[in-house]
Amino acid sequence: MIEKLKAIEQEVKVLILNNADETEMFRLKYLSKKGLINDLFEEFKTIPNDQKKEVGKYMNILKQTAQEKLDSAQVKFSTDKQNSSNIIDTSLPGDAQKIGTQHPLVLIEKEIFRIFNTLGFSLAYGPEIEDDWHNFSGLNFPENHPARDMQDTFFIEKDIALRTHTSSVQIRLMEKQSPPLRAIMPGRVYRNEAISARAHCFFHQVEGIYIDKKVSFADLKQTLYYFVKEMFGEEFEVRFRPSYFPFTEPSAEMDISCTICKGKGCNVCKYTGWVEILGCGMIDTNVLQANNINPEEYSGFAFGMGIERITMLKYNIKDLRVFSINDMRFLQQFESE
């Protein structure tokens, strides 16, 4: 029997397997349940016990040789096998194509632009890293004036900071273009504030300016009334409260009747029935002059609003942090918008 085993082992050794089919034939012939090697093991049971040790050794060598040959051939031809199973079944329904959703802040930014665009406002952008002139001094924030502390600033170096508001883009626009000017300026702004449901160290604003001959506070009010009606609907009331900003005089803050309780009083509006949505005013003559615009000839208004605030009111969102944590369960709700 040993001779027979040696002969089969030799036969296995010299065999060359050229493809997946030959490999499978080899497996069936030698290593399957009904294969030669199993038959030999059956035969092995019948030989006298004193020969078993010696014969067993050759049995194992043969089995190992065949198994190794099979393993390496299977690895070699497995990609071929995959390719053949990759034949496209054109009768299967296609996979649904998942497209991304627009972020709610993007949706609202686009809507803000759509509304102001109908009034002739164009779009302008400025850098997020700003110098002192564009973020403060050019906007009539005197040096060492406490108004600079209205916004907690991330300084990069002395006079260079992450912009605290998009009002800086007003200055950049006035530098580049002369009146009449009518533009809105969206972008990200940064403040050194602790993150909570109501505050974040970065958020988004849209700034707006309109400079021309004879622009009045009535134009400002009418423009913002129109914006609120378009954004939130006819049923909301608007009110202006006097306020202070260094770059506008007079200045105001605009409130709308609470979108959640419709003015009845709830915890979003702190039971006042009103929520603040923006700051605005007539551009201070100091700002016009600093940018070589003659205040005798031109006047203008400016306003600035937080995009997060508008989005929260529009979609009834109570926590600002959801905008930046990329939770798919939140973002997917805007799929159809």
Cα 40–chain centre separation: 66
* The two three-digit tokens of residue 195, written as one number: 């993150």
Closer residue to ligand DAH in complex, CB, 104/279: 279
Closer residue to ligand DAH in complex, CB, 56/120: 120
- Minimum separation from the CB atom of position 257 to ligand DAH (A): 21
Closer residue to ligand DAH in complex, CB, 23/167: 167
- Minimum separation from the CB atom of position 215 to ligand DAH (A): 13
How far apart (Å, rounded) are the C-alpha atoms in residues 115 and 208? 12
- List of residues 6+ apart from 146 with CB closer than 8 A: none
* The two three-digit tokens of residue 260, written as one number: 């959640």
Closer residue to ligand DAH in complex, CB, 63/134: 134
For 273-295, the DSSP string reads SEEEEEEEEEEPHHHHHHTT--T
- Minimum separation from the CB atom of position 207 to ligand DAH (A): 5
Cα dihedral: 157, 160, 162, 168 (round 10): 170
How far apart (Å, rounded) are the C-alpha atoms in residues 185 and 143? 25
- Minimum separation from the CB atom of position 170 to ligand DAH (A): 7
- Minimum separation from the CB atom of position 324 to ligand DAH (A): 19
Could you list the residues that contact ligand DAH (CB under 6 A)?
A: 165, 167, 207, 245, 248, 279-281, 302-304
Closer residue to ligand DAH in complex, CB, 116/245: 245
